[in-house]
Amino acid sequence: MRYLTDDELHLASRFLFLSMAITVIQQDIQHIQAGTFKIKEPYLNLLEAMNTKAINERNDLRKMMRDRNVQVVALNKSHSFSSYLFVCSGREEKRNYFNPVIRKRVKSIMQELMDKVQPPHQHDPAAHT
């Protein structure tokens, strides 16, 4: 049974998956810094810009959640599923997510962030001569 509105559920789930994407981005930054990349800066610059964009959005979401009295609580995690409790003004809704679906959602958010921080590549053959 649904206890949260679509807006509340969207807000809470965006916060949840964006937080996961931030964790992945930050881990990737650490891996690149510690890795054997010959030229690290382009990758680090991209990931750091994505991280900044994501943290700013998450701060905005956190404020909206505080204003609407919405919370996300991690319940448990197994090999296949992860469970979260979404709470809004005393109403609770438990959500179970299949871990591969979580991965797909996080990947989608990361691609969205990458598209936002990276201008479209325009190939100019004259620039290389």
The verdict on residue 90 lying in a domain is yes
- Is 13 a member of any domain? yes
Q: Which residues of 81-100 are buried (b: 16+ CB within 10 A; e: fewer)?
A: ebebebbbeeeebebebeee
Which one, of 119, 114, 77, 120, lies nearest residue 99 by Cα?
77
What's residue 37's pLDDT?
86
Q: What is the pLDDT of residue 1?
A: 62
Domain that holds residue 45: 6-116
Residue 129 counted as domain residue: no
* 95-24-70 Cα angle (round to 5): 35
Q: Is residue 48 included in any domain, yes or no?
A: yes
Query: Within a domain: residue 56?
Result: yes
Q: Domain count of the chain?
A: 1
DSSP character string of 72-87: EEEEEE-SSEEEEEEE
**Is the residue at 127 inside a domain?**
no
Residue 68 lies in a domain: yes
pLDDT by residue for the chain (129 residues), tens digit each? Answer: 678 899 999 999 999 999 999 999 999 999 999 998 899 999 999 999 999 999 999 999 999 999 999 999 999 999 999 999 999 998 999 999 999 999 999 999 999 999 999 877 655 556 555
Is residue 54 domain-resident?
yes
